[in-house]
Amino acid sequence: MIVVTGGAGFIGSSIVWALNQRGKDNILIVDHLGKDNDKWRNLVPLRYIEYLERDSFIDCVENDTLPDNISCIIHFGACSDSTETDNSYLVKNNFKYTEAIASYCLDKHIRLIYASSAATYGNGETYFKDSIADLEDLRPISMFGYSKHMFDLWVKRNDVFDEMVGLKFSTVYGPNEYHKGSMKSVVLSAFEQIRDTHKVELFKSEREDFYDGEQMRDFIYIKDVVDIVLHFLDHPEINGVYNAGSGKARTWNDLAKAVFKAMSKDINIEYIDMPESLKAKYQYYTQLDMSNLEKTGFDTKFKSLEKNVQDYVQNYLLKNKHLGDENLD
């Protein structure tokens, strides 16, 4: 059995979809569906044998009542809102919750693959190299990034990176993110803006070394993320902390233009002021070093940003489909 926490969320449900594509449905999904959101819709096309709410799962972990045939826990079920301001909530969900699961996995000799974040790198003045030896040198600039960093440091200080995998995700976009509200990708936001207003709004730059819309991110498509996760699932002998990005920085302007092209619309970009609350913790440049992942035998020659945006827009957004709905007319 494979456990996927956050299994109704964006990345988690995509992992379940990929496992289903392989004919695997012996999956326990863990999540917190809550209320007033459509996250549950990600589950509809998926095949799995059991679902547990997060609190019930934590009880099972603490009381040692989980099934005894679990081979791997893919833990993506934490707070993914990089703008969350409740610091105690972030510590509880991104550090202590993950620590409890990791301790259980170590005790039971269960493989753990968990989600870290490129937000741990801060403003990028240090580097974007996934080096275990240099983890202490990182300086996150948001509490979200620091809450992820706290667990990376826990793994290192307990010297157990040889028993689990941490993946530092960059800026992910793709189908099944529809429920994410203000945290949805700029691809989805741009699609909705173009559909409704025929234009896209991007933040102005607050730095002289970046023009408006020329801030850069390492964007990665959800299907490429899935391939990275499955690579580690297929190779239990490979552990450690690894970057999970495209390895190629592109601008917000590039991203917006790709959406206009995929929708066959004329380019119309308007630059707006950045909210004061974001200015101090805004990353102007991210480009992850993917050399360590390549050394494990993974091919990082992904499709271009333009090709992936085209797939997302034309095969999912315009057709109102989730992963798993590909065969529906």
Q: Looking at residue 262, what is its pLDDT?
A: 98
- Asked whether residue 238 is domain-assigned, the answer is yes
SS3 124: coil
In this model, does residue 61 exceed pLDDT 70? yes
Q: Where are the beta strands (DSSP E) in 123-218?
A: 164-169, 171-173, 200-203, 216-217
Cα–Cα distance between 235 and 243 in angstroms, integer? 16
Q: Looking at residue 51, what is its pLDDT?
A: 97
- Tell me the mean pLDDT in the region 177-182: 89
In this model, does residue 86 exceed pLDDT 80? no
Can you give the residue range of the structural domain that contains 134? Answer: 2-173+219-246+285-302
pLDDT tens-digit profile of 15-37?
A: 999 999 999 999 999 999 988 78
- Tell me the mean pLDDT in the region 244-268: 96
- The amino acid occupying position 63 is N
Q: Looking at residue 127, what is its pLDDT?
A: 61
- Asked whether residue 259 is domain-assigned, the answer is no
Q: Looking at residue 119, what is its pLDDT?
A: 87
Q: Looking at residue 90, what is its pLDDT?
A: 81
- Asked whether residue 53 is domain-assigned, the answer is yes
Packing angle of the helix pair 222-234, 305-312 (nearest 10 deg): 100
Q: Looking at residue 199, what is its pLDDT?
A: 97
In this model, does residue 79 exceed pLDDT 90? no
Q: Looking at residue 249, what is its pLDDT?
A: 92
- Asked whether residue 319 is domain-assigned, the answer is no
- Tell me the mean pLDDT in the region 50-67: 95
Provide the domain count of the chain.
Answer: 1
- Asked whether residue 112 is domain-assigned, the answer is yes
Q: Looking at residue 284, what is its pLDDT?
A: 84
- Asked whether residue 196 is domain-assigned, the answer is no
In this model, does residue 184 exceed pLDDT 60? yes
In this model, does residue 298 exceed pLDDT 90? yes
Query: How many CB atoms are located within 10 Å of the residue 107 CB?
Result: 9
Tell me which residue of 68, 293, 61, 283 sits closest to 168, measured CA to CA: 293
| 239, 170 Cβ separation under 8 angstroms | no
Terminal-to-terminal C-alpha distance of the chain: 32
- Asked whether residue 195 is domain-assigned, the answer is no
Q: Looking at residue 89, what is its pLDDT?
A: 76
| 1, 19 Cβ separation under 8 angstroms | no
Q: Pull the structure tokens for residue 197.
A: 């207003």
Q: Looking at residue 285, what is its pLDDT?
A: 85
Between vectors from CA 67 to CA 61 and to CA 72, what angle results, nearest 5°? 80
Cα–Cα distance between 314 and 187 in angstroms, integer? 12
Confidence of residue 131 (pLDDT cuts 50, 70, 90): confident
- Asked whether residue 265 is domain-assigned, the answer is no
Q: Looking at residue 93, what is its pLDDT?
A: 77
pLDDT tens-digit profile of 318-329?
A: 999 999 997 775
Beta-carbon contacts of residue 287 (< 8 Å; ≥ 6 apart): 128, 216, 218, 245, 247, 248, 249
SS3 154: helix
CATH code of residue 240: 3.40.50.720
Query: How many CB atoms are located within 10 Å of the residue 32 CB?
Result: 15
Q: Looking at residue 164, what is its pLDDT?
A: 96
Cα–Cα distance between 16 and 1 in angstroms, integer? 12
In this model, does residue 142 exceed pLDDT 90? no
Higher confidence at residue 263 or residue 78? 263
